[in-house]
């Protein structure tokens, strides 16, 4: 568990990520794909969780960024000094819990924020796709929680400290058609803004690339989890 720098009346505690959703394997794993596209469409990055002490006592847990949809690719320079920036639309998702003394308590509901990211790879281009590339990312996600317009969430890149790391793309031996293996690790420097009360800077958190579940798996799992909890709650009230 880490700590944050207080910049507003809000307080956050950065938590260690323990998974993406119920039933998914924890830890980082390479992504296998049939193209040299970066970031991999079938991949996701784990993301910092947070416990919010004020103005709402909630915790975000199991965060990830996924659903990368490329909107623009720009390559400058020449071999071996190519610099490629890939702009994508993406989705930040997490599960919201009650705040139990700085740790996640009872599940409340899923959270989904839409936004954009920019991945800049040094040395990578469509002409030289194989290797290990220094990587820098920026991001900006926003939305509301539980259908309440006043519960605004913003998660964005800390403008003072870049988020950097490495990405490796290699060829999987003896595959036909050719498969490519992608691994990546980033140090994320994020800011949180809850209800428009101002940014709070979080300590750096290591973010690793993982394979996304089958389409709809995470959403169905989360819906079943919260549905069962709601049913159990109603039964307790009836008894």
Q: What is the mean pLDDT of residues 29-46?
A: 93
| Rg of the chain (C-alpha set) | 19
pLDDT of 48 reads: 66
How far is residue 120's CA from residue 83's CA, in Å, rounded to a whole number? 7
Domain ranges of the chain: 11-216
How far is residue 66's CA from residue 83's CA, in Å, rounded to a whole number? 23
pLDDT of 214 reads: 52
pTM of the complete model: 0.78
pLDDT of 23 reads: 33
How far is residue 63's CA from residue 82's CA, in Å, rounded to a whole number? 32
Buried b / exposed e along 188-213 (16+ C-beta atoms within 10 A): bbbbbbbbeeebbbbebbebbbbbbb
pLDDT of 156 reads: 95
pLDDT of 58 reads: 78
């Amino acid at each position: 568990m880490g700590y944050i720098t207080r910049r507003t009346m809000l307080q956050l505690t950065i938590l260690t990520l323990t998974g993406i959703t119920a039933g998914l394997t924890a830890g980082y794993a390479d992504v296998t794909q049939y193209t040299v596209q970066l970031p991999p469409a079938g991949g996701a990055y784990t993301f910092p969780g947070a416990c919010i002490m004020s103005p709402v006592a909630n915790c975000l847990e199991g965060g990830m960024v996924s659903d990368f949809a490329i909107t623009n690719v720009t390559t400058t320079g020449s071999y071996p000094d190519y610099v490629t920036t890939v702009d994508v639309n993406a989705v930040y998702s997490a599960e919201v819990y009650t705040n139990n003394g700085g740790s996640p308590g009872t599940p409340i509901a899923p959270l989904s924020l839409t936004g954009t990211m920019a991945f800049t790879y040094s040395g990578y281009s469509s002409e030289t796709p194989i290797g290990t590339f220094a990587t820098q990312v920026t991001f900006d996600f926003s939305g509301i929680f539980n259908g309440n317009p006043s519960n605004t969430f913003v998660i964005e890149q800390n403008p003072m400290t870049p988020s950097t790391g490495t990405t490796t793309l290699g060829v999987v031996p003896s595959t036909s058609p050719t498969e490519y293996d992608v691994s990546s690790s980033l140090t994320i420097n994020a800011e949180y803004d809850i209800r428009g009360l101002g940014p709070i800077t979080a300590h750096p958190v290591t973010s690793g690339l993982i394979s996304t579940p089958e389409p709809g798996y995470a959403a169905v799992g989360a819906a079943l989890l919260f549905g069962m909890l709601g049913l159990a709650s109603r039964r307790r009230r009836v008894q």
